[in-house]
Structure 1
Amino acid sequence: MAIDFKIKRITSEAELNGASKVFQETWQNAYKNILPANELAKIKPNMWVNRLSRKDRRNLITVNTDNQVLGVVSYGNLRKKGQIVSDCGELMAIYVLPNFQDFGIGSELLKSAENDLVKMNFTQAALWVLKDNTVARKFYEQHGWKLNDVTQEAEILGKNVELVEYDKKLN
Structure 2
Amino acid sequence: MTRRVRQAVPLDAAPLGVIQAASWQAAFHGLMPEEYLANLDTEAFEKTWADVLAESQWPSSGALVAEEADRVVGYSRFYPTDDADDDPTAVGMIGSIYTLPEVWGTGVGKALMAEVVDNLARAGYAEATLWVLEGNDRAQDFYRGQGWSKDGGMVEDRSDGFLITKVRYRRPLSI
What TM-score results when the alignment is normalised by the length of structure 1?
0.90
After superposition, residues 49-128 of structure 1 pair within 5 angstroms as: 49-52=46-49, 53-54=51-52, 55-56=55-56, 57-65=61-69, 67-80=70-83, 85-128=88-131
Residues 1:42 and 2:46 are matched in the alignment: no
SS of 1:34's equivalent?
coil
SS of 2:115's equivalent?
helix
Name the counterpart of 2:22.
25
Q: Does the CA-based 8 Å contact 1:89-1:124 persist in structure 2?
A: yes
Name the counterpart of 1:130.
133
Q: Does the CA-based 8 Å contact 2:4-2:68 persist in structure 1?
A: yes
* Cα distance in 1, alignment partners of residues 15 and 33 from structure 2: 24
SS of 1:22's equivalent?
helix
Q: Does the CA-based 8 Å contact 1:20-1:49 persist in structure 2?
A: yes
Q: 1:103 Cα shift?
A: 0.7
Further displaced range: 93-102 or 41-50: 41-50
Query: What is the aligned-residue identity percentage?
Result: 20
Structure 1 counterpart of 2:63, one-letter code? N
Q: Does the CA-based 8 Å contact 1:35-1:156 persist in structure 2?
A: no
Q: Deviations along 1:42-101, whole A, 9 cap, x unmatched? A: 111133234433225411111122x221000111100125x9822210011000100011
* Cα distance in 2, alignment partners of residues 100 and 74 from structure 1: 18
What TM-score results when the alignment is normalised by the length of structure 2?
0.88
Q: Which structure 1 segments of 5+ residues have no match? A: none
Residues 1:7 and 2:5 are matched in the alignment: yes
Please state which structure has a larger fraction of its residues in strand. 1
Q: Does the CA-based 8 Å contact 1:35-1:157 persist in structure 2?
A: no
Q: Which structure 2 segments of 5+ residues have no match? A: none
Q: Pairwise CA RMSD of aligned residues?
A: 1.8
Structure 1 counterpart of 2:5, one-letter code? I
Equivalent residue pairs, number:
166
* Cα distance in 1, alignment partners of residues 160 and 153 from structure 2: 22
